[in-house]
Amino acid sequence: MSNDKLGSALAALADDAQLWSDFLVLCDCGGRQAGSPGEQRAREFALSRLAAMDKSARLEPVSYAGWRYSEAVMTRLDSADDQPLACNPLLGAQSTPSAGVTAEVIDLGRGTLEQFEKNARDIAGRFVLVRHEYPFATDHVHRRRKYNWAMERGAAGYIIANPVPVAGPVAGSSGRDGKAGIPAVGTDYESAARLAAHGSERARVCLRLRGEDYPAETSVVLLEIAGLTPASVVLSAHLDGHSLAESAMDNATGVAVVLAVARAIAPLVAQCRYGLKVCLFSAEEWALAGSRQYLERMSASERDALMLNINLDTVGGDTELTALTSEFPRLDSFVQQAAGQSGVALNTHQPLMQNSDHYNFACHGIPALRLVAGFNRPQCNIRHILTGADTRDKVAPMELANAARFTATLLWQALNADKAEIAELRKK
């Protein structure tokens, strides 16, 4: 396939005003937590956009371990300071008994494994307090790892605090997935300061958290266009988010860019070597449940026909883009080739990261990357994701335009790669 066609597609993409207007419509849907009316609105909108491109647009239902809460209150008991503390339950958090759980708080600072091990004898029966970290960095320790370390050491509960002042509590998934766990909540910087020990005195708190598990269902929004051979390339992003804000950077940016790239490339796919599957997942924030089930339901030969997953998650909020290439060593030069051709600067990071839907593809041996902005740039706007400050004003139109230009070039290269080249990507 000629590069003239790519050139026209990139020109159409550069003129596509819907890239920005789609981003705003998705933000208008609110935080889009899976199961909320906002998530449903976003899904209907995305489906209508894909249906305008091709008649194959459809929904495929997936189930996940749903959860909702009716009460979440955290109060200090040991002082005159009896104002409620900021308390935002993590998705799927374990409930307390109706009277609540009362225990002392042990502050483990950032909450590294070293800090957990050093204080191992003081953790059982106490609430562990740790800090949320900038998630897109080489040395980041994920919230769910800290949660597991707390649970393994017998903690009474888990409190994760926003390290940024005046920015509200943090959100996230507990990763409990309907199984046994400990109560887990996000809090804000100011509450964490009140929970930290004062001299040898530890704060004593009561946490009441009432939630219920229920079998929930959502859908993958799909578009499937055949190429000249039965194999295909998957372009994906997650539609869902958290209730605290607009989930603008994470991940209205990724969805808007996927829609724009699909608009530009879809009309050309029938003449490409491979077909295109566009997957807009939900329940990503629920331990990647949507993409996990989508892939588990396929037969091994159907999965073998997936040549590459290009997953966009948080591609605005900073000017720098990084491809997380999931330990597929040949993927680095493949994406750099597209970066060079598109004129968009790109970094790569090889270690497999469990932080978005590409992880499930990689676990099935499918070459997979996540495109992300702001990697190793903890001062950029992306530090606000998972908080009430993840709003549209943190994103610049040029950031989406650059991500779209690079993604379209990479997708085009993958759709037309020769058989030997694409087979090489699978090799470890």
Nearest to 131 by CA among 119, 123, 120, 143: 143
Shortest Å distance, C-beta 218 to Zn ion: 15
Rounded CA Rg of the chain? 22
Which residue, 173 or 348, has its beta carbon nearer to Zn ion?
Answer: 173
**Contact indicator for 239, 221 with CB cutoff of 8 Å:** yes
CA 227 from chain centre, in angstroms, equals 29
Backbone φ/ψ region at 241: left (φ over 0), alpha (ψ -120 to 50), beta:
beta
Which residue, 133 or 313, has its beta carbon nearer to Zn ion?
Answer: 313
**Chain positions contacting Zn ion, by CB under 5 A:** 250-251, 313
Which residue, 247 or 416, has its beta carbon nearer to Zn ion?
Answer: 247
40 HSE (CA, 13 A, CB side):
4
Shortest Å distance, C-beta 252 to Zn ion: 10
Shortest Å distance, C-beta 386 to Zn ion: 9
* 143-178 burial code (b ≥16 CB/10 A, e <16): bbbbbbbbbebebbbbbbbbbbeebbbbbbbbbbbe
Shortest Å distance, C-beta 357 to Zn ion: 8
Which residue, 185 or 382, has its beta carbon nearer to Zn ion?
Answer: 382
168 HSE (CA, 13 A, CB side):
14
Residue 407 backbone dihedrals phi, psi, to 5 degrees? -65, -40
Shortest Å distance, C-beta 65 to Zn ion: 19
Which residue, 136 or 274, has its beta carbon nearer to Zn ion?
Answer: 136
Which residue, 192 or 404, has its beta carbon nearer to Zn ion?
Answer: 404
Shortest Å distance, C-beta 355 to Zn ion: 7
Shortest Å distance, C-beta 385 to Zn ion: 7
Which residue, 93 or 255, has its beta carbon nearer to Zn ion?
Answer: 255
Shortest Å distance, C-beta 329 to Zn ion: 25
**Contact indicator for 259, 22 with CB cutoff of 8 Å:** yes
Alpha-carbon distance of 421 to 48, in angstroms, equals: 35
Which residue, 373 or 422, has its beta carbon nearer to Zn ion?
Answer: 373
Which residue, 387 or 413, has its beta carbon nearer to Zn ion?
Answer: 387
Q: Is the dihedral angle over the CA atoms 175, 349, 234, 252 positive or is it negative? A: positive
